[in-house]
Amino acid sequence: MTVALPRPLASDAAGSNVLADRRLEQALLFTLICHAVAMLSMAALLLPMMPGGTTSDDAARVALLASHTIRFRLGWLPWHVTALSDLLLAIAMVRTRWLPRGPVWLVLGLTVVAVALDQGGQGLWLTRGLVLVEQGARTGDLGPYLRYEAWVMPITSAWAALAYTLTAIAWTWCFYAAKTWSRALSVLSVPLWGVFLVISVAPLLPPSIRPPAELVAAGNAIGFVLLEVWLVLVSERVLTRARPETPHGRWARWRYPRAGILGRALGMVANSRWLRSIGEALPVLEFGSDITDVIYVNYLVPAARLLPFVPEGLELQRLGPDGGHALFTFLTYRHGHFGPTLLGARRLFPSPVQSNWRTYVRDPRTGTLGIYFVTNAVTTLLHAIGARVMAEGVPMHLLADASITRAKDGTITMALDPGEGTAPDARAVLHPAKSRALPLPWSECFADYDALLRYDVPQDRAMATQPWRRRTVRQEIALNIPLESVEPLEGHVTSRAARAIVGDAMPVSFRVPAVPFRLVAEEVDPW
C-alpha cells in the first residue's frame, strides 16, 4: 500500500463534470440488456418462423406463423425496445461532452436511418405481412406472402442492418478518438464489424452468389453474442473514466495472492467497474456473523498524514485541542459463519479471518460521523470477490493466510500474510496490559482510556462516496459492544502497510472478546 494523494476524477479538457457520463453509462447498460433479451426472443419465439431459421420447409414455416401470429408479434417486441435503446445511446453520446463532436453526430444520423428502416420493415411485416399469411392459410396459396416476405425482409435484415453496422463503426471512432479504449476492443472490433458487414450485405447479393440463409442466421447469432462482449468492454472503459484507479478504497488495484492464470482471471473480475456497477443496482441483503477475538491496533498521528486517505466528499475527524491529530485503526477478527441472514443461510457460509483498516470521517453536509475503509482483507475468495463486487464501502482484498491465536496466559499472536497480493500485512504479539494510562499525545486527545474506547469502539457506520453520482453511501452496522468487555493489550506490532500510513507512531491495542455483527442496511445521502 502506497501513501499518495488520490488521483483526480477524470473529466474532459473543458472541465465538464463526470456526472455527464452517467447518462452514457445507463444507455450502454440498457442497450446491452435489450440486445440480450432480443437475442433470446429470436431464439425462443421467432426463429422457427423466420427464413433460414429452424424450419426449413416454407409451407411448414408459414403454417406455423399462421397459427402463432401473437407469438410472432411478441417475438418482435424486444427488438422494438432494442431499436429505442440504440436511439437513446446515440442521444447520450451526443450529450457526452468528452466524445468528439463530428463522430457523435454521425452516430445519431446513422442511428435514425437504421431505426427508421428497421422499424418500418418490421411494421410492414407485422401488418400487411400477417394479413397475407392469413389469406394464404385460407386459400392454400403461399405465393403472395412468400413474395412479400422476400421483399420486406431485406429492409430489416440488410439495409437496416447495414446502417446499424455503420453506426457501430462510428461508435468505435468516437470511443477510440476519446481515448476511452482498450487493446481488447481493438482486437474484437475488426472481426465483429466485418462479420456484421458481410451478413448485412449478403441478402442484397444476386442469388447465384448469395450465402445460404442458414449461414447468414449463424453469422447473426455469432455477431450479436460478440456485440454483447464489445458493449461490456466499452462500458468498462466509460465507467473507468469516472472511477479511475486510486491508491486506496474501492478503486484500488486488486491482485490475487499468487501469480498465474487463475490470479489474472480473478483480478479481471475483482477490478471490473462494469461488474461493480451491476452490484450497485442489486438490493443489499442483511448479513450477520458471530465475531470473536477482535484485535484493535490504533495509531494517533498528525492529521496531515491521514488527509490523503479520506475520499472526496468526506472530512477527517480531528482530535486534540488544536485538531492537529487523528486516529487510524486496523482491527482483525475471526468471523463465525459470515453470510446473509435470510432463511438462516449464513450457517452455510465459512468463518474467515478479516482485517479492516480505517480512518474516522464526517459528512460535512449532514454532520454524520462514521468510518472510511482504506482497505479490507479476508481469507476466503468467496467473501473477497463478493464484497468487492457488491459492497460499496468495503474494498475487500484477499489474504494468502491469516491467523489469530490466544494462549492460556492471554497472549495474542496475530499474522496477516498478503502473499503476492494487494492485501495489507501485519504481525503482532500482544499480551494483557498492566496499565490503562495513555501516553502523550494520546492524553491530550482523550481524557482517559474509557474516552478512547467510547470514540473508537462504537463505530456502527461505514461511509464511502460516489462523486460521479454526487452522493454518500452509508452502510449501517449493528455491533452493540459492551465497553466493559474490552481488554487492553500491549506488545509488539510490525506492518509495512501500517508504517506507510502512520510512520513511526506507536500503537495502543486492545481486544474485544465477541461481537454479534449485523449489516443492517445501505443508505444514500445525496449531495
Q: Are residues 64 and 177 in the same domain?
A: yes
Q: Which of 208, 242, 276 is the last residue of a domain?
A: 242
Is the overall model pTM greater than 0.85, yes or no? Answer: yes
Q: Are residues 368 and 319 in the same domain?
A: yes
Q: Which of 242, 277, 296 is the last residue of a domain?
A: 242
Residues contacting 93, CB < 8 A, separation 6+: 24, 27, 99, 104, 107, 108, 171, 174
Q: What is the pLDDT of residues 441-491, one digit of tens each?
A: 999 999 999 999 999 998 889 999 998 888 999 999 988 889 999 999 999
Q: What is the DSSP string of 241-252?
A: HHS---SSSTTS
Domain count for the chain:
2
Q: Are residues 371 and 496 in the same domain?
A: yes
Mean of the per-residue pLDDT values for the chain? 92
Residue 252 placed within a domain: no
Residue 248 placed within a domain: no
Residue 422 placed within a domain: yes
Residue 368 placed within a domain: yes
Residues contacting 435, CB < 8 A, separation 6+: 488
Q: What is the pLDDT of residues 94-128, one digit of tens each?
A: 999 999 999 999 999 999 999 999 999 999 999 99
Domain limits for position 80: 18-242
Among 408, 413, 520, smallest CA distance to 474 is for 520
Residue 247 placed within a domain: no
Q: Are residues 148 and 288 in the same domain?
A: no
First to last CA, the chain: 30
Which amino acid is present at 139? T
Residue 297 placed within a domain: yes
Q: Are residues 437 and 472 in the same domain?
A: yes
Q: Are residues 321 and 231 in the same domain?
A: no
Q: Are residues 372 and 516 in the same domain?
A: yes
Q: Are residues 237 and 265 in the same domain?
A: no
Q: Are residues 48 and 152 in the same domain?
A: yes
Q: What is the pLDDT of residues 229-255, one digit of tens each?
A: 999 999 999 999 889 999 999 999 999
Q: Are residues 313 and 415 in the same domain?
A: yes
Three-class secondary structure of residue 234 per DSSP: helix
Position 52 scores a pLDDT of 82
Q: Are residues 228 and 375 in the same domain?
A: no
Residues contacting 79, CB < 8 A, separation 6+: 38, 41, 42, 118, 122
Residue 13 placed within a domain: no
Q: What is the CATH number of the domain that holds 496?
A: 2.40.400.10
Residues in the chain: 527
Residue 389 placed within a domain: yes
Position 343 scores a pLDDT of 84
Q: Are residues 220 and 285 in the same domain?
A: no
Q: What is the pLDDT of residues 134-158, one digit of tens each?
A: 999 999 999 999 999 999 999 999 9
The set of cell numbers assigned to 445 is 486527545
Residues in the chain with pLDDT values less than 70: 1-20
CB atoms within 10 A of CB 202: 21
Among 35, 165, 76, 173, smallest CA distance to 113 is for 165
> What is the Cα–Cα distance from 269 to 286, expressed in whole angstroms?
24
Q: Which of 196, 214, 242 is the last residue of a domain?
A: 242
> What is the Cα–Cα distance from 508 to 488, expressed in whole angstroms?
8
Position 392 scores a pLDDT of 87
